[in-house]
Amino acid sequence: RKEVEQDPGPFNVPEGATVAFNCTYSNSASQSFFWYRQDCRKEPKLLMSVYSSGNEDGRFTAQLNRASQYISLLIRDSKLSDSATYLCVVNSYQGGKLIFGQGTELSVKP
Amino acid sequence: ETGVTQTPRHLVMGMTNKKSLKCEQHLGHNAMYWYKQSAKKPLELMFVYNFKEQTENNSVPSRFSPECPNSSHLFLHLHTLQPEDSALYLCASSPQGNTEAFFGQGTRLTVV
């Protein structure tokens, strides 16, 4: 089983749509969780950290379910500029080891 | 401008060459990482340094040799690479091992 597994993509959605990405992780002792965004041929950039209580940043909402070892990212009112690959990232319990999922590609169309 | 700078941005090298990738972070972070990203594959962690000490070597072939002379600089020395080593090599840093990481723009390496 992969340490971090994401929904296979790509997701093709119209502008204004709501889209949700899911991610599962295998190590129950994992401590920190993040969503990154990666544009084509660019470096990954931190989108948001994920907290147990859930957190929201504008149109983006992240949720963590430790019992199910599941992380989600919801994007509301999608914009063309949201088109990118979204990476689920989990910090290993051993520390200092960020493990990336394979990414889910999102394409927002006019 | 990113707080993590990588040079060169692009590198083409022959299989018998020796080259080095450089990473410098201006963020005062204590942990630095090398990742490899091949086409259509997820990021693969290669090496982790915490407070200049290597804490992770993710079964990386010896033709890749990291060096961390201080907490701000990280190198990846390359020798006798194979064409399948062609990839985007990303350096990242974080305040400490269990926090979010910030990436440099990467070195796109082509081995011919």
Determine phi and psi for B102, rounding to 5 degrees: -120, 135
Report d(CA A69, CA B50) in Å as an integer: 27
Nearest to A46 among B48, B97, B102 (CB): B102
Cβ–Cβ under 8 Å, residues A86 and A78:
no
Q: Which of B53, B42, B40 is nearest to B97 (CA)?
A: B53
A24 at B interface, C-beta within 8 A: no
Condensed to tens digits (0 to 9), the pLDDT of residues B11-58 reads 999 998 999 999 999 999 999 999 999 987 889 999 999 888 888 888
Cis peptide before A14 (omega within 30 of 0): no
Condensed to tens digits (0 to 9), the pLDDT of residues A74-83 reads 999 999 999 9
Q: Which of A41, A98, A100, A104 is the best substitution to test chain B (most B C-beta atoms within 10 A)?
A: A98
Region of A47 on the Ramachandran plot (φ > 0 left; ψ -120 to 50 alpha; else beta)? alpha
Per-residue pLDDT of chain A in tens (110 residues, 90 and over written 9)? 788 999 888 999 999 999 999 999 998 888 889 999 999 989 999 999 998 888 999 999 999 999 999 999 999 999 999 999 999 999 875 656 788 999 999 999 99
Report d(CA B75, CA B70) in Å as an integer: 10
Nearest to B55 among A46, A49, A96 (CB): A96
Cβ–Cβ under 8 Å, residues A45 and A36:
yes
